[in-house]
Chains A and B, each alone.
Chain A
Amino acid sequence: MDLIIQILTNQLTILFALIMAVFLGFELISKVPTVLHTPLMSGANAISGVIIIGSIVLVRSSGSEDYVSLGLGSLAILLGTINVVGGHAVTNRMLQMFRKK
C-alpha cells in the first residue's frame, strides 16, 4: 500500500502523461486502413526502439572500470540500434513501393 501511495505522489506528472499517451495512441491508430497495417507495425516497432536512449544513458553514467554495466549496456545499444535503424529502413523500403504510383 505504501508502495502505491509512493508511486502516486512521486510520479503524478508521469502518470498524467502516461494516460494521455495511451488515449493518443488509440486515437492515432484506430482509423488506419488495413493496407498500412504492415508498415505501421514495422514503424511502431522502430519507435519502440527508443529504449536505446536508456542504454546510452546507462553506458555514459557507468564508471570505466564497471565492466558488467559497460558490457550489458554496449550490447543493449548494439541490439537497440539494429532495431531502430533496421526498423525505420525496412519501413521506408515498404512505403517507397506504395509511393511509386
Chain B
Amino acid sequence: MTALINLVYLICVSLFIVGLQRLSSPKTASSGNLIAALGMGLGILIALLAPMESGDGNYLFIVGALVLGGGIGLLVAGKVLMTKMPEMVSLFNGLGGACALLISIAELLNFHDVKIFQLAPYLTTLVALVIGSIAFTGSLVAYGKLSGSIKDSWKLPRANMVNIILLLTLIVASAYQLQMLDTMELVYLIMILSLIYGITFVLNVGGADMPVIISILNALTGVSAALAGIIYDNMIMLMGGILVGSSGGILTILMCQAMNRSIFNVLAGDFGGAGGSVAQVGDQSVKEVNIMDAGIMLRYSTNVVIVPGYGMAVAQAQKICKELEDLLEEVEVNVRYAIHPVAGRMPGHMNVLLAEADVDYAKLLDLEDANKFLKETDVTIVVGANDVVNPSALDDPGSPIFGMPILDILKGKHVIVLKRGMSSGYSGIENPLFFHDKTSMLFGDAKKSLNSLLDELKTIV
C-alpha cells in the first residue's frame, strides 16, 4: 500500500514539473496549468484516502473546509477584474503563508517531551512557522499597497535598522527556544516577531517594485511548504514547495534584471521619492494637443505604436485601444503595442489585459523589437505609462532609474502622452519626456481621451 501511495505521489510531482514546464511557453501554458491542477487534485485525494496509523479521521471538518474553501476560491477567481490580478495573486499567496503558519503552530503544540533525535524536525517546524508568518503579513501588505489601501508614503523610519534588529532577535529567540523545547511562550513571541518582520520588510519597498516582492513572497511560501513536507515526510509537498521556491527565486532575479537593479537595491526601498534630478523641473512647460490635431496625426501616419502602462489598466482602456487599432488598420496604418517587461504592476500584466481585449498576440512587441520598430514610428501614444518611457534612464546619471532599459520612444517622430495630470510616476520620479519637443500632452482620463479620439477619427477616416 505504501508503495502504491508513493507511486501516486511520484506521479503528482511529475505532473507539477510538466505543468510548470508547459506554463513557461505561450502555446502550452493553458494545459500546463490544468496539468498542475490535476497533480494537486490527485495529491489531495491521496492525502484523504491513504491509511493512517492513528487519529480519528475527522472527515466532517476536512470535507467541510475543502468545499467551503473551494467555493470561495472559485467565486473570487471568477469575479476578480483582470486589472486586479497582481493584488489577487498577492492575497492568495498570503493565504498559503497563513496555512503554513497554522500547521506549524499546531505541530509545535503537538511536540511533547522532545527527545534529542527530534531536534531536527522541531527546528524545521520552527523555521516553517517563521517563513510562513513572514509570507502571510508580507503578502497582505503587498496587497494593501497594490490596491491603494496602504499609501506608498507610509514609510517606517530607519527601516533597515529595524529589520536587522528584528531578524537578530528572531534568531536569538529561536536559539533559546531550542534549549527549552516544551514551552510555547517563546514560540508565540517568535511568531509575532515574524509577523511584524513581514510588515516592515515589505512596507518600505516602493509600490512599483511590488511584483518583485510578490515573487519573493511566493518563493517563501513555496519554501515553507517544502519544510512542511520534511515535517510530514511527504515528497509531493517537499518537491512542489521547492519547485515553487526555486522558480520564484529565478523569476525574482529575471525581474530585477529587467529593471537593471540588484535585489538588495529593491529591498532597501530607497528608490524614487527624493531622486537627484527632481528639482530642476518647475520652469519647463509642456505642450498640449487637442483631439482634432491628434486624430489627424494618427490618420496620416504609417506606423503607430501604443505604449500601455498601469494607467491603461486603471482606466480599463484596453478595449478602446483595440477599437482604435481596428479603425487605424482599416486605413492601412500599422498599429503595434510596445510592452515593457515591467509595465503595469506585474510582468506580463499588459499582455493579459490586451489579450482580454482580443488584441492579436503578434502585434505585441517586446522591449527589443519595440525599440527597433520605434525608429520607423510616426506617432507613439503613451497610455498611462510613465517610468518605462522615462528618458532619464538613458542620459541622466543622477536619476534613480539611470541604466534601466526603457522604451526609447523619442526615436520616433511624435509622442502623444495620455495622462490625467502632471503627477510623477508610481516610483515618484519626474519624467523629462513630458517636456520634450516631440511630446504633446493629452490631459484627461485615458479612456475618455481615447473615446473622443476614436469619435474624431471616425469623422475623418
**Do A38 and B349 have beta carbons less than 8 Å apart?**
yes
Contacts of A2 in B (CB 8 A): 116, 119
**Do A90 and B61 have beta carbons less than 8 Å apart?**
no
**Do A93 and B77 have beta carbons less than 8 Å apart?**
yes
Binds A, one of B160-168, B246-254, B273-281, B297-305: B246-254
Taking residues whose C-beta sits less than 8 angstroms from the other chain, chain B's interface range is 35 or more
Nearest neighbor of B78 in chain A, beta-carbon distance: A89
Report the minimal beta-carbon distance from A38 to chain B, rounded to whole angstroms. Answer: 4
Please tell me if A14 contacts chain B, counting CB pairs below 8 Å: yes
Of B30, B73, B240, which contacts A98 at CB under 8 A? B30
Contacts of A95 in B (CB 8 A): 29-30, 33
**Do A41 and B95 have beta carbons less than 8 Å apart?**
no
**Do B17 and A70 have beta carbons less than 8 Å apart?**
no
A24 vs B410: C-alpha distance when bound (angstroms): 41
Binds A, one of B148-156, B229-237, B412-420, B449-457: B229-237
Q: Could you give, for residues 15-51 of chain A, a 1 whenever the CB lies within 8 Å of some chain B CB and a 0 otherwise?
A: 0011001111110111111111111111111111111
**Do B109 and A69 have beta carbons less than 8 Å apart?**
yes
Tell me the dominant secondary structure on chain B's binding face. Answer: helix
**Do A29 and B119 have beta carbons less than 8 Å apart?**
no
**Do A84 and B250 have beta carbons less than 8 Å apart?**
no
Within 8 A of A (CB), among B64-107: 64-66, 68-70, 72-74, 76-78, 80, 82, 85-86, 88-89, 92-93, 95-96, 98-100, 102-103, 105-107
Report the minimal beta-carbon distance from A89 to chain B, rounded to whole angstroms. Answer: 4
**Do A50 and B225 have beta carbons less than 8 Å apart?**
yes
**Do B96 and A83 have beta carbons less than 8 Å apart?**
yes
Take A40-B24, A48-B221, A77-B69 as given contacts and tell me if A83 and B99 are in contact as well, using a CB distance cutoff of 8 Å: yes
**Do A81 and B57 have beta carbons less than 8 Å apart?**
no
Please tell me if B291 contacts chain A, counting CB pairs below 8 Å: no
**Do B40 and A14 have beta carbons less than 8 Å apart?**
no
A42 vs B364: C-alpha distance when bound (angstroms): 21
Report the minimal beta-carbon distance from A97 to chain B, rounded to whole angstroms. Answer: 4
Of B40, B73, B254, which contacts A50 at CB under 8 A? B40
**Do A29 and B251 have beta carbons less than 8 Å apart?**
yes
Please tell me if B429 contacts chain A, counting CB pairs below 8 Å: no
Within 8 A of A (CB), among B23-41: 23-26, 29-30, 32-34, 36-37, 40
**Do A28 and B20 have beta carbons less than 8 Å apart?**
yes
**Do B95 and A14 have beta carbons less than 8 Å apart?**
no
**Do A80 and B82 have beta carbons less than 8 Å apart?**
no
A63 vs B56: C-alpha distance when bound (angstroms): 5
**Do A74 and B64 have beta carbons less than 8 Å apart?**
yes
Contacts of A43 in B (CB 8 A): 19-20, 23, 32-33, 36
Please tell me if A72 contacts chain B, counting CB pairs below 8 Å: yes
**Do A51 and B55 have beta carbons less than 8 Å apart?**
no
Report the minimal beta-carbon distance from B238 to chain A, rounded to whole angstroms. Answer: 6
Contacts of B242 in A (CB 8 A): 17-18, 21-22, 25
Please tell me if B331 contacts chain A, counting CB pairs below 8 Å: no
A76 vs B32: C-alpha distance when bound (angstroms): 26
Contacts of A41 in B (CB 8 A): 89, 214-215, 218, 248, 251, 346-347
**Do A88 and B36 have beta carbons less than 8 Å apart?**
yes
A60 vs B73: C-alpha distance when bound (angstroms): 23
A73 vs B56: C-alpha distance when bound (angstroms): 14
Take A28-B24, A40-B23 as given contacts and tell me if A50 and B240 are in contact as well, using a CB distance cutoff of 8 Å: yes
Given A25-B243, A60-B58, A72-B105; 7 other pairs, CB 8 A cutoff: A3-B120, A44-B251, A45-B244, A54-B229, A86-B73, A95-B29, A95-B33
Show 22 A/B contacts (Cβ-Cβ < 8 Å), sorted by A: A22-B242, A22-B246, A28-B20, A28-B21, A28-B24, A34-B341, A34-B351, A38-B346, A40-B348, A44-B222, A44-B251, A46-B40, A47-B19, A53-B43, A53-B234, A54-B228, A62-B55, A62-B56, A78-B69, A79-B95, A94-B82, A95-B30
Residues of B within 8 A of A (CB): 16-17, 19-21, 23-26, 29-30, 32-34, 36-37, 40, 43-44, 47-48, 52, 54-59, 61-62, 64-66, 68-70, 72-74, 76-78, 80, 82, 85-86, 88-89, 92-93, 95-96, 98-100, 102-103, 105-107, 109-110, 116-117, 119-120, 123, 211, 214-215, 218, 221-222, 224-226, 228-232, 234-251, 254-255, 258, 339, 341, 346-349, 351-352, 355-356, 358, 360-361, 364, 366
9 smallest beta-carbon distances between A and B, as pairs: A81-B69, A25-B246, A86-B73, A85-B73, A37-B347, A89-B77, A61-B55, A50-B240, A77-B65
